[in-house]
Amino acid sequence: MKHPSARPLPDASPDCRPPRRRRKEARPSELTAAALALFVEKGFAATRLEDIAARAGVSKGTLYLYFESKEALFKTVIEEGMVAALAAAEQRLSDFQGSAAELLQQLLFGWWEQIGRTPMAGVTKLIACESSNFPEVAQYYHDRVRSRGRALLRTTLQRGVGSGEFRPVDLETTIDVIMAPLLMLAIARFSPGFCSLGTTPESYLQTHFELLVNGLRRSSGALAKPPTGDRQ
Amino acid sequence: MKHPSARPLPDASPDCRPPRRRRKEARPSELTAAALALFVEKGFAATRLEDIAARAGVSKGTLYLYFESKEALFKTVIEEGMVAALAAAEQRLSDFQGSAAELLQQLLFGWWEQIGRTPMAGVTKLIACESSNFPEVAQYYHDRVRSRGRALLRTTLQRGVGSGEFRPVDLETTIDVIMAPLLMLAIARFSPGFCSLGTTPESYLQTHFELLVNGLRRSSGALAKPPTGDRQ
DNA sequence: TGCGTTAATGACTACAGAGTCAGTAATATA
DNA sequence: TATATTACTGACTCTGTAGTCATTAACGCA
């Protein structure tokens, strides 16, 4: 039972509710962080704005001081995450020297350190799950983030093939195959039961890397053809 | 402007609305098929029951004749999908003879033929996206579907390692790495822009298979250690 | 200490969509 | 053809939540 206007005195219960604070600067990032966590956990549609606000320690009204709508908040969350991911990726790109295998290893583990193990990995799951509800966002991700990540791998593979360290491969398809375990790792972190690893992410990546480098080495024997060659 | 009870005559507009049909047997599967498609496209929370009903060619009331609630419908969709997936997997398991590489190829392409390229692949995306909203469903998937798929791969790898065809590897981690591109393929089919392949699924799988078999072969040289060995 | 500015609040409105049910019509049976 | 049965319908109710806004109180400044 709740009194409509009970106890109008300012400090009704001594320290029940912490005092209101004015922190205009800090709110937006706190709100997007809370939103990212909840969107990733529950999905966009199933997440209540009041829960986001509560997690950020403000009321729902405050949220609307900083974001026009739920959708605008979502887009900001994704945008921020992508910017962070891009910055991380570009940084380690440019001036690395060493074998193609070493560069590949740098890329895989660097991705994990700077994106995979941070909250930014949640953006990956969000794109995967919500892309058909937000085509523009998906397009943006595809054009900017994904293509840049692919470019890094492409350069690496080309260097390896050019130097004879790797055998010739179909570049684009190989890139897809290399990225898949990374994307799955990002998704698995937020999908309990779906793909829980038996080991640590680090040894998972290491196994991926070893299989990969071994698989890319110049091989002697020919490989089998696909079993159903008559598929269109 | 809509008349409250305009035109009570039976055939108001000639063939505007097709005649009502009674098809008790066919409804449930038609409804679950429609639900799967929409849940996969929009997610559980963002899908409206009226849209599902409309896609199945019935009214919302009819849906409630066959399913207790939206959640019950969701669980039936997943359950059905998993049963189908299991049946497909078990079938191809038992009496295959041949090299471990050939068996592995059978598993990858068989998965694609019977699950990956069918609507059942959508179940994979649903589990990935909704698992935290439906922990019991995720648990069931983990215990029954995923573990059985892993068992198939484990048997295959063990055979290859035992016969000396493959080098010794960490079984569980390798299984995770092998499955990741399959799961991504299933998810990518329903996530426009997220991971659209540059090639056909078949050549994607073939590249994955070739890298894999090559990577699993007995290798001569030692491989590099991970760059950040001091991680906890 | 008092005053003006504005960050923050939470009760409120509007609406969408899950779930209901009295009524309708397709089919079986006589 | 008349009657009984029941698959099906869609207008309705009710709940939950996105979005609003008049009010409150934190902070800067005189």
Contacts of B102 in chain A (CB under 8 A): 224
Q: Which of A131, A197, A212 sits opposite B192 (nearest CB)?
A: A131
Radius of gyration of chain A from Cα atoms?
Answer: 23
Among A16-20, A52-56, A108-112, B24-28, whose mean pLDDT is lowest? A16-20
* Domain annotation for chain B: domains and CATH numbers: 24-67 (1.10.10.60), 75-216 (1.10.357.10)
Radius of gyration of chain B from Cα atoms?
Answer: 23
Contact A199 B132 (CB under 8 A): no
Q: Which of A41, A193, A211 sits opposite B142 (nearest CB)?
A: A193
pLDDT for B78 equals 97
Which nucleotide lies closest to A61 by the C1' atom and the CA atom?
Answer: C9
Residues with CB under 7 A from strand C: A 17, 20-24, 27, 57-62, 64-65; B 10, 19-22, 47-50, 60-61, 64, 69-71
**DSSP per position, A146-214:** IHHHHHHHHHHHHHHHHTTSB----HHHHHHHHHHHHHHHHHHTTSTTTS--SS-HHHHHHHHHHHHHH
Give the Cα separation of B165 and B180 in Å (integer). 23
Question: Residue holding tokens 């590249």?
Answer: B207
**In Å, how far are A147, A150, A225 from A157, measured between CA atoms?**
15, 10, 23
pLDDT for B6 equals 35
In this complex, which residue's CA is closest to the C1' atom of nucleotide D11? B4
Classified as helix, coil or strand, B59 is coil
A20 is near strand D: CB distance < 7 Å? yes
Which amino acid type is present at position B231? R
Q: Is pLDDT above 90 for A85?
A: no
Q: Is pLDDT above 50 for A7?
A: no
Per-residue three-class SS string for B124-163: HHHHHHHCCCCHHHHHHHHHHHHHHHHHHHHHHHHHHHHC
A125 is near strand D: CB distance < 7 Å? no
pLDDT for A95 equals 65
The mean per-residue pLDDT over the stretch B18-24 comes to: 90
The reply to whether A232 touches chain B by the CB within 8 Å rule is no
Among A56-65, A218-227, B70-79, B113-122, whose mean pLDDT is lowest? A218-227
**In Å, how far are A98, A185, B190 from A190, measured between CA atoms?**
34, 9, 19
Which nucleotide lies closest to A25 by the C1' atom and the CA atom?
Answer: C7
Which nucleotide lies closest to B64 by the C1' atom and the CA atom?
Answer: C19
Q: Is pLDDT above 70 for B22?
A: yes
Give the Cα separation of B144 and A141 in Å (integer). 34
Q: Which bases of chain D are contacted by protein, using any atom under 7 A from a CB?
A: 6-12, 16-22, 25-27
**Confidence bin at B28 (pLDDT 50/70/90):** very high
Residue that wins the pLDDT comparison between B109 and B19: B109
Q: Is pLDDT above 70 for B220?
A: no
Among A63-67, A99-103, A133-137, B227-231, whose mean pLDDT is lowest? B227-231
The string of pLDDT tens digits covering residues A190-215 is 998 888 787 999 999 999 999 999 99
Residue A42 parent element (H or E):
helix A27-42
The reply to whether A147 touches chain B by the CB within 8 Å rule is no
The mean per-residue pLDDT over the stretch A131-153 comes to: 93
Give the Cα separation of B173 and B86 in Å (integer). 22
pLDDT for B7 equals 34
Task: Classify residue B223 by its DSSP letter.
Answer: P
Q: Is pLDDT above 70 for B3?
A: no
Exposed e or buried b per residue across A190-218, where buried means at least 16 C-beta atoms within 10 angstroms of its C-beta:
bbebbbeeeeebbbbbbbbbbbbbbbbbe
Cβ atoms within 10 A of the Cβ of B143, count? 11
Both tokens of B73, joined, read: 């419908």
Q: Is pLDDT above 50 for A37?
A: yes
The reply to whether B195 touches chain A by the CB within 8 Å rule is yes
Contacts of A37 in chain B (CB under 8 A): none
Give the Cα separation of A198 and A195 in Å (integer). 9
Q: Is pLDDT above 80 for B149?
A: yes
Give the Cα separation of B57 and A90 in Å (integer). 51
Whole-number distance in Å between B69 CA and C18 C1': 8
pLDDT for B141 equals 94
Give the Cα separation of A73 and A90 in Å (integer). 26
| B35 contacts B52 by C-beta, under 8 angstroms | yes
Q: Is pLDDT above 90 for B4?
A: no
Give the Cα separation of A168 and A218 in Å (integer). 8
Q: Where are the alpha helices (DSSP H) in chain B?
A: 27-42, 49-55, 60-66, 70-93, 100-111, 121-130, 135-140, 147-162, 171-188, 201-216
pLDDT for B94 equals 65
pLDDT for B224 equals 44
| B213 contacts B107 by C-beta, under 8 angstroms | no
